[in-house]
Amino acid sequence: MKIKVLSIPVQDQEKALKFYTETLGFIKKVDVPLSEENRWLTVVNKEEQDGAEILLEPSPKHFEPAKTYQKALFDAGIPYTQFNVENVQQEYDRLNNLGVEFSVNPTEMGTVKIAVFNDTCGNKIQIVEML
């Protein structure tokens, strides 16, 4: 088995696309309309364009359990997913300078350093550096 697509629920696909590309530095890979409101919209790491894609999946507006789950994770400060980075402090400084809101500043935890930010689309995302 091979991971090809991972999904992250987002409350606004256009806002998510802007944040994930302009702020985080991913690039758009696929953008296919599925309906008037929804698209199959993926982004990838610009250095690994054939690697795993992140599906910026529309958060279901009419499926209460999904909305409840996403909100519960966010409210508890639990990251929806994590991205590995070479240097958490440098990435924190870069994103902080761009106005990204962090709920956990760079913190060493055993063999890793982490930080957690708000993706502006309903999720907390954790960045991790292996020490």
Structural domains for the chain: 5-130 (3.10.180.10)
| pTM listed for this prediction | 0.95
pLDDT in tens, 39-93: 999 999 999 999 999 999 998 888 899 999 999 999 999 999 999 999 999 999 9
Rounded CA gap, 50 and 82, in Å?
19
Rounded CA gap, 19 and 42, in Å?
13
- Radius of gyration over every alpha carbon of the chain, rounded to an integer in angstroms: 15
How many other CB atoms sit within 10 Å of the CB of residue 14? 11
Give the amino acid at 99.
G
Helix (H) or strand (E) holding 39: strand 39-44
